[in-house]
Amino acid sequence: MKKILYILSGNLTTTPRAVKSILTFKDEYHCKIVLINRLDQWEKKDEEIIKQHNLNVTTVNLGRNPFLLWFWATLLEKIAQKIYPIFKTKININAYSSNKASILLWYKIKDIKKHNYNLIIGHSYGSLYPTWKAGKKWNIPFIFDVEDYHPGEFIRFDAKNEKQRREFLMQKLLPDTKAITFASPLIEEYTLKLIGSHPNHHVILNSFPESDFKEPTPCSLLPAPCSTLKLVWFSQKISFGRGLEQLFEAINQLTTHNSLLTTQNLQLTLIGYLDPEFEKELKKHSSLTSHYSLLIKRPLSQPDLHAELANHDIGLALEFNNTDLNRQLCLTNKIIAYAQAGLYILATDTPAQKQFMEEHNEFGVVCGQTIEDIGKSIIRINEEKLRIKESRATRFELGKNLAWENEKEKLVLLWKEVLSSKI
């Protein structure tokens, strides 16, 4: 049985693309996973995944346990950042000053050594350097998954230098990969433009197994009246800067001034960890809930979340161009999940979402990114809600074309080609 080494700079819980890949190949290949644990709550969820699927995982904590490794990585990161202006062309200085996870992963992988791995696969930016380093040092083919356009992400500290470091590392390291996979067509386009093309690249959408989603119940059989328009939004965290503030204001204006939208026929459900600070903001807007029904649910497992979507009508994909360039280019898990669940999607017009909706216009509608645009779209959706509800089954069938069963075939072919040295 051939051996594959997966390197993740995050948790399994927060890297579903990696999990889907691992579960696709774990029965055919021996899969070893080295990952970074970023939060205790995610580690607990990781343990459930590991136990359920009997995965071989080595976990490295980003925090202070063990202290000596954390101290060494922190010291190395600080030194690298200090000398970076002098050594801007050094790959290891760029990597160490850019992402502490790169340091931790490399030192852990050095302990594992070669073990006759046949293929290395990196997921998330912090794994790029250790994936490249291990592949070059041990002469093992490696593949990297570009889920986000990393130079275009919001960077909190030392933004100018960090953007340069990310561009430099992608330009220097990605051309050495046997293949690159991307999470959206525009992330692919921007990355290839940055690195000067690549002979073997593929878009693998963030889709999910077809079995995760329940066939919609006909409107006539639902316990709640079909007159209720049910909107849903989910994320790992319910917080600021996710489009919810604009959504609340749009709904507040509509329900205050439009008698067609009331508590009886408009329901909004938010699913995720509720940020305590954002909860205070919700309480300030408590008057909103007198005009419509607002429900908040704690995070659900992936299968439970996808099953829950069957209870709603409208999936909200609220992304904004002013967040960062990456948000303009990415296709989130949620917009794909909405489509697979057969929901009618209300998507703001970032370039990636606009492109996706133009290619799949049966799935919903695109709107502008202002409060007024969002409000007008909700009014139009409400006016057509009976047609939208009745066409749910048609959208559900179309959504099957996006299922992971279709996307994974691209990976299966790619991995076999690499492992057989055909590329």
Give tens-digit pLDDT for 48-65: 999 999 999 999 999 998
Instruction: Note the pLDDT of residue 75.
Output: 97
Q: Of residues 292 and 12, which shows the higher confidence score?
A: 12
List phi, psi (to 5°) of 231: -100, 145
Tokens of 277: 């600070």
pLDDT > 70? residue 265: yes
pLDDT > 80? residue 292: no
What is the 3-class SS of 29-84, one letter each residue?
A: CEEEEEEEECCHHHHHHHHHHHHHHCCEEEEEECCCCCHHHHHHHHHHHHHHHHHC
Closest CA to 5 of 100, 111, 103, 77: 111
User: Which of helix, strand or coil describes residue 277?
Assistant: helix
pLDDT > 80? residue 220: no
Q: What is the pLDDT of residues 71-83, one digit of tens each?
A: 999 999 999 999 9
Instruction: Note the pLDDT of residue 254.
Output: 81
